[in-house]
């Protein structure tokens, strides 16, 4: 099996009332996250985001508003997953995207990768995910949604 590239995408899927979809990893109990995955050779970050959304939750991201948040995070690869990378590779660069969908949907999970899913208000989702960069992305969701001109629906009016 070829090594993974140490370049990935994180895609925060959210609704106009700022509910975020989080999914539970199959290889790490109680590890919740947004859609994420490594780029394939020659693939752009946008193309990887579209592919990962399709693979992990069964949704065609091109049908919705995929937003490049123009955020790059650099973090140390968790020890438990370093064997997936070339020897000596210890850091990953992550490109952050948002995907605005009109309403909650029931995802079709890849059972090889994920075992559960939840829709949660953005701040609750931020507390539930295990990755600090994922939590940071969820915490800035309201700001990013406004920046991209999302037509948000205040809670209680949905």
Give me the CATH number covering residue 27.
Answer: 3.90.79.10
Helix (H) or strand (E) holding 47: helix 45-57
Q: pLDDT category, 130, cuts 50, 70, 90?
A: very high
**Residue 1: what pLDDT?**
64
- 3 state DSSP class of 76: strand
Is position 153 within any domain?
A: no
Is residue 92, in this structure, part of any structural domain at all? yes
Mean residue pLDDT across the chain:
95
Residue 125 domain flag = yes
96 phi, psi to nearest 5 deg = -105, 130
- The predicted-structure confidence for 62-77, as pLDDT tens digits, reads as follows 999 999 999 999 999 9
**pLDDT of residue 150 exceeding 90:** no
User: Does residue 140 lie in a domain region?
Assistant: yes
Per the domain annotation, does 90 fall within a domain? yes
Q: What single string gives the DSSP state of each residue in 4-45?
A: BPSEEEEEEEE-TT-EEEEEEESSSTT-EE-EEEEPPTT--H
Confidence of residue 43 (pLDDT cuts 50, 70, 90): very high
**Residue 1: inside a domain, yes or no?**
no
Q: Summarize the confidence of residues 4-13 as an average pLDDT.
A: 98
Mean predicted confidence (pLDDT) in 120-147: 97
Would you say residue 61 lies in a domain?
yes
Q: What is the mean predicted confidence (pLDDT) over 44-69?
A: 98
Return the C-alpha torsion angle 89, 66, 138, 21, nearest 10. -100
Per the structure, how many domains does the chain have? 1
- Residues of the chain with pLDDT > 70, as a percent, come to 97
Residue 120: count other Cβ atoms within 10 Å of its Cβ: 18
**Within a domain: residue 2?**
no
Which range of residues forms the domain containing residue 134? 7-147
Instruction: Give the CA diameter of the chain.
Output: 52
């Amino acid at each position: 099996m070829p090594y993974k590239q140490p370049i990935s995408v994180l895609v925060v899927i959210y609704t106009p009332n700022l509910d975020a979809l989080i999914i539970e990893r199959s290889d790490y109990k109680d590890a919740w996250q947004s859609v994420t995955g490594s780029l394939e050779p020659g693939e752009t970050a946008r193309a990887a985001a579209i592919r990962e959304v399709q693979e992990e939750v069964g949704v065609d991201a091109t049908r919705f508003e995929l937003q490049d948040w123009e955020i790059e995070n650099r973090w140390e690869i968790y020890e438990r997953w370093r064997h997936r990378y070339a020897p000596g590779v210890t850091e990953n660069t992550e490109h952050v995207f948002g995907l605005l969908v009109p309403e909650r949907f029931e995802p079709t999970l890849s059972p090889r990768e994920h075992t559960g899913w939840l829709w949660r208000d953005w701040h609750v989702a931020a507390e539930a995910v295990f990755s600090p960069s994922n939590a940071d992305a969820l915490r800035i969701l309201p700001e990013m949604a406004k920046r991209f001109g999302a037509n948000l629906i205040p809670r209680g009016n949905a």
